[in-house]
Amino acid sequence: MNIQRPLLFFVLFFVTAFSTLNAAVAADYYGGSTDFIRSSCNTTLYPDICFTSLSRYANAVQQNPGQLARVAISVTLSKVHRVASYVSNLTREADYSADTRAASAIHDCFTNLDDAVDQIRGSLKQIRQIGAVGAGAGSFLFQMSNVQTWMSAALTDEETCTDGFQDVDDCKVKTQVCDRVSNVKKFTSNALALVNSYANKGMP
């Protein structure tokens, strides 16, 4: 067991490293150029994070702004979901903490992130329905306005989480939560920007 563990990590590391590399190589080889993603990301607040996290989907995205927005929402969902589960773990420890302010901020933060996950999940479901059979022009704008509303609500929920720590004394847990939530706020903000530019371009 003690001998197998490092080996497992070693194998996992290489599998992960090579599949990431393969995706990048495949994107170039099969003509899924990353130029479209680079220029679309240029309109977001955090272009580097945008490009780094989305360029591997160049093949699936091609030049399609709707597909790019879908992928951005999906990546955001998995990031926020992960941080929500991290904070959920912290709430259990916080219950035994002497710092009641921190404990209450952590609990509130989890509630907000949990809501954000629901909103982003709703956005993803909605944007996937766009272009479905029988959807007219009015319905594209209506569906996109739902996606925009829910993604901005998620961003607000994330902000409410970090705001809740304002009166908490500096501590390790505050830094850990705020750093992670600030990071997912960037992903959410970028996804919202890509959603907005898709909505402005009009019908798929």
Ligand X SMILES: *[C@@H]1O[C@H](CO)[C@@H](O)[C@H](O)[C@H]1NC(C)=O
Q: Would you count residue 139 as binding ligand X (CB under 6 A)?
A: no
Least distance CB 6 / ligand X (angstroms) = 20
Q: Would you count residue 22 as binding ligand X (CB under 6 A)?
A: no
Q: Are 194 and 68 in contact (CB under 8 A)?
A: yes
Q: Would you count residue 82 as binding ligand X (CB under 6 A)?
A: yes
User: Of 22, 89, 104, 182, which one interacts with ligand X (CB under 6 A)?
Assistant: 89
Q: Which of 127, 139, 137 is nearest to 195 (CA)?
A: 127
Q: Would you count residue 52 as binding ligand X (CB under 6 A)?
A: no
Angstrom distance (rounded) from CA 68 to CA 88: 30
Angstrom distance (rounded) from CA 53 to CA 47: 10
User: Of 42, 63, 145, 182, which one interacts with ligand X (CB under 6 A)?
Assistant: 42
Q: Are 7 and 1 in contact (CB under 8 A)?
A: no
Tell me the residue length of the chain. Answer: 204
Region binding ligand X by CB under 6 A among candidate stretches 63-71, 85-93, 147-155, 175-183: 85-93
The angle formed by the CA atoms of residues 70, 116 and 78, to the nearest 5 degrees, is 50
Least distance CB 133 / ligand X (angstroms) = 35
Region binding ligand X by CB under 6 A among candidate stretches 83-91, 101-109, 125-133, 151-159: 83-91
Q: Would you count residue 39 as binding ligand X (CB under 6 A)?
A: yes
Angstrom distance (rounded) from CA 10 to CA 111: 37
Which residue ranges make up the site for ligand X (CB under 6 A)? 38-39, 42, 82, 85-86, 89
